[in-house]
């Protein structure tokens, strides 16, 4: 009888614990385009709502113009404007397709703008090369983000007739929504050909030879030799490089922006400058370090 009572008591305790656990709820943020986000509202200002996803420590900021209402875990509901659930937000650009994949924690690297006085560097090919190099660094460095493959990024841009000449007419938030990502990275690479430098070297070798002469059983040693000279030279092109790197979220907030004069004079010195800045965005391993 005691065993039965003990079992009933244990089941009762388990049921109460499960019920208490199941009552843990998230705040629900409903955007004006109908999208819902679950997490924790960490603050509300006169213009913005701070929001954090479960298991993360990074706060996102939403403009109140983007939010229709907040359903707090306590049951309280706060509205921030006329609800337009189910109605797409007006835009002069083509939005990301409805029902598409979640954009949360996705990042795209746009083709870099390329400037150079070197006729041997084709702007289009260099733009794509630097985009690919940066994408590889982002993939290796940002373990919490998912990189959109540059081929996909460039295909979406091409289908929407966005080219190097008109991309500046689009805002960062418009491009992020168009690409279906939460973060976009822009950049400009400037490489100036400073001319050539020639380095040479000269070497001299002396070679001597001994001769032995025997006279009356006596040996006499004499030496003679010659001088041999050689020279070599090499010519290299020196470059002056500057990299501009910017990162935005899909609300148009500038999360990181820096221009850096790169150390080194070789053509690929830009890689070190980009790597330095990739590591210092809010998702990099050197965040907050100069």
- d(Cα 172, Cα 255) in Å, to the nearest integer? 11
CATH architecture, domain 106-194+236-278: 3-Layer(aba) Sandwich (3.40)
Residue 259 and residue 244 in contact, taking contact as beta carbons nearer than 8 Å: yes
Residue 186 and residue 176 in contact, taking contact as beta carbons nearer than 8 Å: no
Polymer length of the chain: 290
| pLDDT at res. 149 | 96
What would the pLDDT profile of 96-140 be if each residue is shown by its tens digit?
443 345 889 999 999 999 999 988 889 889 999 999 999 999 999
Tokens standing for residue 224 = 């003679």
What would the pLDDT profile of 191-248 be if each residue is shown by its tens digit?
999 887 776 666 666 666 666 555 566 666 655 666 666 666 677 889 999 999 999 9
Residue 282 and residue 58 in contact, taking contact as beta carbons nearer than 8 Å: yes
Axis crossing angle, helix 123-141 with helix 270-278, rounded to the nearest 10: 40
Q: Domain residues of the chain, as ranges?
A: 2-79, 106-194+236-278
Residue with more model confidence, 19 or 24: 24
| pLDDT at res. 227 | 62
Which candidate, 33, 38, 142, 40, places its Cα nearest to that of 96? Answer: 33
Q: State the Rg of the chain over Cα.
A: 33
Residue 126 and residue 114 in contact, taking contact as beta carbons nearer than 8 Å: yes
Residue 22 has pLDDT above 70, yes or no: no
- d(Cα 182, Cα 179) in Å, to the nearest integer? 9
What would the pLDDT profile of 165-175 be if each residue is shown by its tens digit?
899 899 999 99
Number of CB atoms found within 10 A of residue 80's CB: 18
- d(Cα 174, Cα 95) in Å, to the nearest integer? 8
Q: What percent of the chain has pLDDT over 90?
A: 42
- d(Cα 59, Cα 280) in Å, to the nearest integer? 18
Residue with more model confidence, 284 or 58: 284
Mean pLDDT for the stretch of residues 261-278: 92
Which of 3.20.10.10, 2.115.10.20, 2.30.30.100, 2.60.40.1930 would CATH assign to domain 2-79? 2.30.30.100
| pLDDT at res. 73 | 85
161 φψ region: left (φ > 0), alpha (ψ -120 to 50), beta (else): left
CA 33, distance to chain mean position in Å, is: 28
């Amino acid at each position: 009888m005691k065993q039965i009572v003990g079992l009933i008591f244990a089941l009762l305790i388990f049921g109460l614990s499960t019920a208490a656990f199941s009552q843990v709820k998230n705040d629900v943020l409903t955007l004006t385009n109908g999208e819902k986000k679950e997490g924790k509202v960490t603050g509300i200002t006169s213009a913005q709502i701070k929001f954090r996803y479960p298991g993360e420590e990074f706060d996102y900021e939403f403009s109140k113009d983007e939010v229709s209402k907040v359903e707090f875990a306590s049951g309280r509901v706060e509205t921030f404007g006329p609800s337009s659930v189910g109605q797409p937000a007006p835009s002069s650009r083509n939005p990301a397709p409805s029902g598409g994949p979640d954009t949360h924690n996705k990042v795209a690297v746009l083709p870099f703008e390329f400037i150079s006085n070197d006729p041997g560097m084709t702007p289009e090919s260099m733009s794509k090369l630097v985009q690919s190099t940066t994408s590889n660094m982002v993939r290796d460095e940002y373990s919490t983000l998912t990189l959109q493959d540059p081929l996909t990024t460039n295909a979406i841009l091409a289908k929407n007739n966005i080219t190097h000449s008109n991309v500046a007419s689009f805002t960062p938030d418009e491009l992020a929504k168009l690409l279906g990502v939460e973060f976009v990275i822009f950049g400009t690479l400037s490489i100036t050909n400073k001319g050539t430098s020639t380095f040479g070297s000269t070497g001299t070798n002396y070679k001597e030879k001994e001769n032995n002469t025997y006279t009356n059983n006596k040996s006499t040693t004499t030496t003679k030799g010659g001088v041999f000279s050689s020279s070599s030279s090499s010519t290299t092109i020196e470059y002056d490089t500057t990299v501009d790197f910017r990162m935005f979220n899909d609300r148009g907030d500038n999360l990181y922006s820096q221009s850096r004069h790169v150390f080194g004079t070789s053509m690929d010195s830009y890689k070190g400058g980009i790597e330095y800045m990739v590591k210092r965005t809010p998702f990099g391993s050197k965040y907050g370090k100069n």
